[in-house]
Amino acid sequence: MEQPLASNEITSNRIAKELNEWKAREQRFEKLFSPDILKDKAFLKEKLGFYEHLQNKYSRSNVPEEKMTLIILARQNDLLRKQVYPNLWMRLLQRVLAPFREKQAERQTTISSDRNLSDLKEAVAKAGFETDGSKLAQHIKQGQREFSLPLSYYISENQKMDINLSFAKDASGAYRFEKYQAALTDTNKPQESKKQIFASDDQISASQAQNLLSGRAIKIETFDINAGSKSKWIQLDFNDQDPSGNHKLKEFHKDYGFDLQKAVSQLGVKENLTAKDQQVLLDALSRGEKPQVTIMREGKEVNLSIEANPQYKTLNVYDEHQKKISIAQALSGPEKPALKITEPTPQVIEQKSKRNGQKVR
């Protein structure tokens, strides 16, 4: 049986790449059924149609290696056509009908490609990324088995996010958004860059990935076919990695006992915020953000930043210099603190995202 083409041939010859994929497909069918399946007339018709499609698809190629491949492919087509259609008149009829079949196939391919492109753009946007549709379309047209698109944007003056979106063909031949690698780098300490690969099925958005890489915990919803929807907190463990280099996850389920609202109430939020503002704050903390709040102490405003700490069932509190302090230190003073949210609000978050300019390089 013919072996798949060598990898160096594939990279320089697009036709060879597609032929290699067909050979791999033949091998899979041979294992599933028997070697005789490759001689089945229905299978041979499918193979002939594929070969004819390749001939038409690359007929205008000026690449010497591909032009030579087309000459050999034409000869293979003639032999295969005689095998599928032994009758001369039937072969002539098939030659006449071939251009019409090819046009129909091209229309169907265009429709499928457009639908696939739309699905990919939607999946990437849902994850919180902006992509160049023309680059996605170009990769789909090239027909690679898999490809990636890089993104890069700043989230602050010294912090940069580098993203690599990965796409791959599924069993049907359509592309799907498979995963992305996110890397958070402090330009002042590039050697301390943190990175992680997230599968698209994990449904971790761009902002959530950023917060996880910043060391914060996020609250996510999961679905169990028996128990239904369940929530849990997750956080990257920077002291433990799997063999692929991904940081392992620390998980804190409902039974663990972390009550975010109770932790926030220790800062007097319940008494000093409206129900709506309190929910805005809880949502921000659940997303892994580090909102800034202002308390009144001894008649003066004191700015603090807070973040959820599910592992220790509390909040991490930082002063105006971003020095970590205890809740007791934050609350010290003769007057009872009156707390209000100063950031973020949904509008601020949205504007910040736009300023970051998440673009494809």
SS (H, E, C) the chain: CCCCCCHHHHHHCHHHHHHHHHHHHHHHHHHHCCHHHHHCHHHHHHHHHHHHHHHHHCCCCCCHHHHHHHHHHHHHHHHHHHHHCCCHHHHHHHHHHHHHHHHHHHHHHHHHHHHHHHHHHHHHHHCCCCCCHHHHHHHHHHCCCEEEEEEEEECCCCEEEEEEEEEEECCCCCEEEEEEEEEEEECCEEEEEEEEEEEHHHCCCHHHHHHHHCCCCEEEEEEECCCEEEEEEEEEEEEEECCCCCEEEEEEEHHHCCCHHHHHHCCCHHHHCCHHHHHHHHHHHHCCCCCEEEEEECCEEEEEEEEEEHHHCEEEEECCCCCEECHHHHHCCCCCCEEEEEECCHHHHHHHHHHHCCEEC
pLDDT band, very low/low/confident/very high, at 309 (cuts 50, 70, 90): very high
pLDDT at position 1: 41
Domain boundaries along the sequence of the chain: 7-112, 132-256+354-360, 260-353
Instruction: For residue range 213-248, list pLDDT tens digits in order.
Output: 999 999 998 877 776 788 999 999 999 999 888 999
| Segment 41-81, tens digit of pLDDT | 888 888 888 888 888 888 888 889 998 999 998 888 888 88
